[in-house]
Amino acid sequence: MATLTLDRVWINRLDSGEAISAQSAPGRARSSSKDGEVRTYAGGRQRSITQAGVRGRFEVTLVQVTFADLARLESWMGVPVQLRDHRGQWFTGVFFEVPAVEHRDNRDRYDVPLSLRTITTPEGV
């Protein structure tokens, strides 16, 4: 029996399908939040007022990214992408910053911590 081990993160542009894949460092973070507040009404009653929709963020560090892939990621800032991790989780979103740190062992490669802000996209036809 064959076993398939996935250890990469794939990022695809939604409009063109271009793809980048890289290994990822452990410690991926995911968060969700909702805009809202608590209002006080007559008699001291308090009610929760929330807005529709959930804000999401997925943070991942791409490891040993080549300069060509780094330049491609920089050109994708603000463009909707789909990110899929080694677990099969996928997120659709945009990133607005591409910080790059030279890799310790190989100065021709970079570690790139990305923070993907999730967006809503239609699925299906």
Taking the C-alpha atoms of residue 80 and residue 43, their distance in angstroms, rounded to an integer, is 47
Q: What is the pLDDT of residue 48?
A: 92
Q: Which pLDDT belongs to residue 105?
A: 81
Distance separating alpha carbons of residues 19 and 11, to the nearest angstrom? 6
Helix (H, G, I), strand (E, B) or coil at 38: strand
Q: What is the pLDDT of residue 107?
A: 81
Nearest to 109 by CA among 71, 64, 74, 62: 64
| pLDDT at 100 (0 to 100) | 93
pLDDT of residue 4: 61
Classify residue 119 as exposed, middle or buried by CB count within 10 Å of its CB (0-12, 13-18, 19+): middle
Q: Which amino acid is residue 64, in one-letter code?
A: Q
Query: Is the Cβ–Cβ distance between 9 and 22 less than 8 Å?
Result: yes
pLDDT tens digits, 66-119: 999 999 999 999 999 999 988 888 899 999 999 999 987 888 899 999 999 998
Longest CA span, the chain = 68
Whole-structure pTM value: 0.78
SS3 at position 106: coil
In this predicted structure, what is the pLDDT of residue 57? 93
- Average pLDDT for 39-51: 92
pLDDT value of residue 121: 76
The mean pLDDT of 3-19, rounded to a whole number, is: 84
Q: Taking the CB of residue 59, how many other CB atoms lie within 10 A of it?
A: 14
- CB 104 within 8 Å of CB 112: no
The reported pLDDT for the residue numbered 28 is 82
